[in-house]
Amino acid sequence: MSLLRRTHRKFTSVTTPDQAAVTTHTLVTPSPESLGFEETSVKKVHRPIYLDMQATTPLDPRVLDAMLPYLTQQYGNPHSRTHAYGWEAEKAVEKARAHVAELIGADPKEIIFTSGATESNNISVKDLNTFAESIRPDTSLVSIMTVNNEIGVTQPVEEIGRICRSKKIFFHTDAAQAVGKIPMDVNKMNIDLMSISGHKVYGPKGIGALYVRRKPRVRLEALQSGGGQERGLRSGTVPTPLVVGLGEACRIAKEEMQYDSMRVKKLSLRLIDGIMSRVQHIVRNGDPNANYPGCVNLSFAYIEGESLLMALKDIALSSGSACTSASLEPSYVLRALGTEDDMAHSSIRFGIGRFTTEQEIDFVVERVVQHVDKLREMSPLWEMVQEGIDLKSIQWSQH
């Protein structure tokens, strides 16, 4: 049996739903056998529905199309200035740099390619702290996440930037969860440094970018020495295929942001209303009036979040940030909001994205309702709550 199958899927390139231009792409998708699943004539095992978009997004097939030539025929080093292979690779890199810059309202010369947002954060924060302290003792750096990756809360970036600029303080933001999903303008928001991640915007893994303001100029020290590429801040050969992928992902995001935003918001409301209208004692974590709708974090009282995750094996979900997934401690984000440990442990993050469908959301709602009810039926705490007992009034015996 062939391990590859061809499927047809429609993708829409739009700025508004009324301007939709639909094209059909032929995709090659792996069969269950090639992914380690056993497929029999009695029962077919399918891959889970993916709702973990804050951990990573799927590669947009249009991004892959843009990358493929630079993985095969056009494989030149973009820093080779003596032949056509290098020239065409350099042209592709600079085109991608322009796409990234356009998405955030920057000058292409202010974009530095890195391996991802983590490296961009390190270059920005570590060096600027040292730089600021070397000027005067009371100089400081403000660094925030534009969109929180656990609860989706958005920060008032423009107001923060205005305050920082008035006090001549550098302002850095980790915009990995924001770029391509909500409008970002580095000049309007007075952002001096911004970290961007490719795989959070339907681009490839292993590539990111750092925006570094030129006027007023932000001076940084490179973390590593080498050939002096990327304005001397990030030495090493720029990976052309990955950079092209990031550039194409940013180009698509700029064109389709309005449409994607409307669609994700609609699916988010469908998910939240579907679950909360049928299940009691659920808390939505974060500020519903200042959030990115594609990140929905819910706490289900009287059950363990990990137990619910295990029960929902046909849905790919998360209980929090993939960056801190090795820790068994309750989410520090939820605890900072004043959430008690039991509710923090019962939280589930639902990540909705560009390729999520209404049918998938409806399936998830049914499964969540089914398994929450089932787990609560097995919980003695739930039985006590049903009997009207206030759990906080109980003095538990210690052994």
- Which active-site residues does the annotation give? 323
Write down the H helix ranges in the chain. 61-71, 84-104, 117-135, 157-166, 240-276, 305-311, 332-336, 341-345, 358-377, 380-386
- What's at 52, amino acid-wise? D
Q: Give dist(CA 193, CA 211) in Å, integer.
A: 5
**Ramachandran quadrant class, 250 (left: phi over 0; alpha: psi -120 to 50; beta: rest):** alpha
Which amino acid makes up residue 78? P
Residues in the chain: 399
Torsion-angle region of residue 226: left (phi > 0), alpha (psi -120 to 50) or beta? left
Q: Rounded to 5 degrees, what angle do the CA atoms 286, 381, 369 make?
A: 55
Q: What DSSP string describes 195-214?
A: EEEGGGTTS-TT-EEEEE-T
Helices (H), 229-288: 240-276
Cβ–Cβ < 8 Å for 84, 73: no
Residues 6 or more apart whose CB falls under 8 angstroms from that of 22 comprise 10, 11, 12
Whether 305 contacts 325, CB under 8 Å: no
